[in-house]
């Protein structure tokens, strides 16, 4: 009789806990996941933070969290964090156990190895009872985005064209008189406005004197990036790493131009992550905020041709009414591209080609 009682009691406990955890196990349980930063550069080490909260007295015996993420983020080994990695995506799993009215935070070290936009849209939560008699799952929506900016290329490795927007600016191009910058006085010349007369200097010298205004240059730079890695390319890029290097070139040039106080625009015949089929175009701007906007666009750039490079130049050139410095970043040069460059020069623009060097060329140099 005693043994039967123990068996019946054990069965009752097992069944009771099964129904208890089945109907109350996930009530009051919340799960969130995010990154320690919203933006970073290639090669930066950041953290992915998981938070689990149990807001009821019934414990959570075990909870497994699974989700997919691109392999561009490399996770360190962790006893509570298993990673199964493929060529493009990796599946990672976390195992939790939490008492009632408790919360738990885990931090996982992540190395951002590749430029890109990494999004966490959902996670799958699998839970069950103490004895594994049942298990169930539910999907938790997430809205997390990490932008990994391209690491600007080493400027010493880039053969930049010799233009006025580099180094110490000594040659002024497209010079215009600045009405707010007065550097002295000079003799009146026919055509000078009487509003510019310096009456104090005129009275002192006995001859008509006008304000001498200094000159400033209006610097405008347009960076054009070609995602085609060879002439005659259709849709598929054979050497994506070569184009990634071109993206780093673009980041370095735009960073340098911003430091020089130039207004910078950008266009590429690839497309943005959320706008397939459309070329990427960023209007002219200046300052650090505009530079980070450019970095964000580069992070979301998809290396897939939306338009032939020469066709993109022809399409955009009609919008460039003011003369600009234009830098073409491309792995190759072709006759159609050369024709478009000649048209730009005839319109008064300064145009240069910056060839993307492969890894073997950089090493040899």
Is there a single domain that holds both residue 94 and residue 204?
A: no
Both 145 and 279 in one domain: the answer is: no
Same-domain check for residues 181 and 75: no
- Tens digit of each residue's pLDDT (9 = 90 or more) over 20-34: 666 666 777 889 999
pLDDT of residue 175: 39
Asked if residue 165 has pLDDT above 70, the reply is no
Tell me: do 227 and 199 sit in the same domain: no
* pLDDT for the residue numbered 168: 40
Residue 93 sits in the same domain as residue 242: no
Rounded mean pLDDT of 179-200? Answer: 65
Query: Taking 60 as the threshold, does the pLDDT of residue 172 lie above it?
Result: no
pTM attached to this predicted model = 0.77
Per-residue pLDDT of 210-239, as tens digits, reads: 766 544 445 689 999 999 998 877 777 889
- Percent of the chain with pLDDT strictly greater than 90: 41
Kindly tell me the burial class for residue 238, based on how many C-beta atoms sit within 10 Å of its own C-beta (0-12, 13-18, 19 or more): exposed
Same domain as 315, residue 295: yes
* Count: domains in the chain: 3
92 touches 138 (CB < 8 A): no
The mean predicted confidence, pLDDT, of the chain is 81
pLDDT at residue 9 is higher than 70? no
Q: Are residues 165 and 185 in the same domain?
A: no
pLDDT-above-70 percentage for the chain:
76
Structure token digits, residue 242: 């070569």
So what's the pLDDT on residue 313?
96
Are both 213 and 230 inside the same structural domain?
A: no
CATH number, domain at 326?
A: 3.40.50.410
Residue-range definition of the domain harbouring residue 102: 2-17+25-149
Of residues 142 and 10, more confidently modeled: 142
Judge if 312 and 166 occupy the same domain: yes
| Domain shared by 183 and 122, yes or no | no
Whole-Å CA distances, 85 to 55, 76, 117, 305: 34, 12, 18, 28
């Amino acid at each position: 009789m005693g043994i039967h009682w123990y068996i019946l009691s054990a069965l009752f406990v097992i069944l009771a806990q099964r129904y208890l955890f089945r109907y109350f196990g996930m009530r009051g349980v919340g799960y969130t996941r995010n990154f320690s930063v919203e933006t970073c550069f290639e090669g930066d080490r950041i953290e992915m933070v998981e938070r689990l909260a149990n807001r009821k007295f019934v414990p959570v015996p075990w909870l497994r969290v699974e989700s997919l993420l691109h392999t561009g983020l490399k996770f360190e080994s962790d006893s509570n964090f298993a990673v199964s990695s493929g060529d493009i995506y990796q599946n990672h799993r976390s195992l939790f156990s939490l008492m009632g009215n408790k919360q738990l935070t885990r931090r996982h070290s992540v190395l951002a190895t590749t430029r890109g936009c990494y999004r966490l849209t959902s996670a799958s939560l699998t839970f069950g009872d103490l004895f594994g008699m049942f298990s169930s799952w539910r999907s938790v929506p997430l809205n997390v985005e990490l932008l990994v900016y391209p690491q600007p290329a080493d400027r010493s490795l880039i053969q930049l064209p010799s233009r006025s927007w580099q180094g110490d600016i000594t040659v002024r191009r497209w010079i215009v008189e600045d009405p707010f910058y007065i550097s002295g006085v000079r003799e009146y010349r026919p055509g000078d406005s009487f509003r510019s007369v310096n009456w104090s200097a005129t009275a002192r010298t006995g001859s008509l004197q006008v304000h001498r205004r200094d000159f400033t240059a209006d610097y405008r730079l347009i960076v054009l990036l070609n995602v085609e890695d060879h002439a005659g390319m259709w849709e598929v890029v054979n050497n994506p790493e070569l184009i990634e290097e071109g993206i780093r070139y673009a980041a370095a040039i735009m960073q340098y131009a911003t430091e020089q106080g130039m207004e910078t625009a950008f266009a590429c015949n690839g497309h943005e992550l959320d706008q397939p089929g459309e070329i990427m175009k960023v209007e002219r701007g200046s300052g650090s905020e505009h530079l980070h906007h450019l970095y964000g666009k580069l992070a979301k750039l998809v290396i897939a041709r939306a338009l032939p490079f020469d066709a993109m130049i022809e399409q955009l050139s009609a919008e460039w009414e003011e003369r600009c410095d234009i830098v073409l970043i491309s792995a190759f040069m072709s006759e159609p591209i050369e024709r478009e460059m000649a048209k730009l020069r005839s319109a008064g623009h300064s145009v240069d080609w910056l060839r993307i060097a492969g890894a073997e060329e950089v090493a040899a140099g």
